[in-house]
Homo-oligomer: A and B are copies of this chain.
Amino acid sequence: MAMAEPRRVREPRSARSGGRAKRVTIADVARAADASVSTVSRVLNGIGTVDPVLADRVRLAIEELGYRPSAAAQGLARGRSGSIGVLVPDLANPHFSDLIKTFSASARERGARVVVMDSDEDPGVERELAEELMRYADGLLLASPRMPRQELAALVARGVPLLVANRQEPGLALTSVCVDFYQGLLALCGHLSQLGHRKVAYLAGPQGSWANKERLRALSGARAFGLEVTVLACGSTTDEGYGAGPAVVDSAATAVVAYNDFVALGLLSRLTEMGVRVPGELSLTGFDEIDLARYSSPPLTTVAVPRGGLGRVAGDALARLMAGDEGIESVTLPVELRVRGSSGPI
């Protein structure tokens, strides 16, 4: 019969999809170097022993063809993607961009890449984004997750190596890396108390944030210093700090503990406008020590947190988790009080 042609009729994809430059594959390299695919793979991964001459031929072919292995194919064959997912509440917040910066540097040293997602401060989408990240990554870093405990638990149950930054959830068997907000705020309170302050206003941070909870916990511990604390709802931005000016003045406090440096700087600006002298009439403290804290007038008393440190420690911890190291302990990083001009005696 004349129709003894093979059953497979469709053209290969490269020909179909309209002449785009077709991908150079490992097979192309093998052909060019007159070697087998396996050999090319071995050269690529430095595995086993390959005759130096052959290896050089392969490397040459790779160079000439401009070959780059497909990440997807490698991922599929190896069973891991070589990527790590990071979920943050707000990429624009320097606290988190610092974290990502050092974390991804650390990941890079281990040969991994970082896929970033931003929940936009919406705890409702965190779960979904985290699950999505799991599809792409071999491990996950959740930075300051605000999601309910139960959802965190569900994520842990997925079996993907998971590390949490700045949140603790006792009884959940999750490894965490945290900044010691509690001790930091305690130090701040001690400092203010020593200066003679008794009535203190606290400009609270975001609802549901562990960082804020820890500060509040320290504040109630601060009764020991003889401080009387008024909590004022505020937030985490400069604008919110600026807006809190009048409320602060009304509170009749002699010192203000702001949620963070942004809030403090915003408030400082408002106070200056209002003609309230700092620290003459009112002492002011921040938290997190952003770069600009030293450069305000007066310079801001604040608490320095290990900025790069968090990312690096997180990188190490997650790497060990991913290596199957089960018993990783949670870490709490120490902070440091920075006394500057914005706080003074009563």
Contacts and interface: CB of A to CB of B under 8 A. Distances in A.
Classify the secondary structure of A's interface with B: helix
A110 to B, nearest CB: 14
Given A135-B68, A136-B83, A104 B116 contact: yes
Interface string A111-122: 001111110100
A68 B159 CA distance: 13
A296 to B, nearest CB: 7
A145 B136 CA distance: 27
Interface centre among A72, A108, A117, A296 (most CB of B within 10 A): A72
Interface of A: 13, 20-21, 66, 68-73, 75-76, 79, 81, 83, 90-92, 94, 97-98, 100-101, 104-105, 108, 113-118, 120, 131-132, 134-136, 158-159, 237-239, 242, 262, 265-266, 268-269, 272, 291-292, 294-297
Contact of A297 (B21, B242, B272): B272
A101 B100 CA distance: 12
Contacts of A105: 118, 120
Interface centre among A90, A114, A134 (most CB of B within 10 A): A114
A70 B135 contact: yes
B83 A92 contact: no
7 contacts: A71-B136, A75-B75, A91-B101, A92-B98, A113-B136, A115-B115, A115-B116
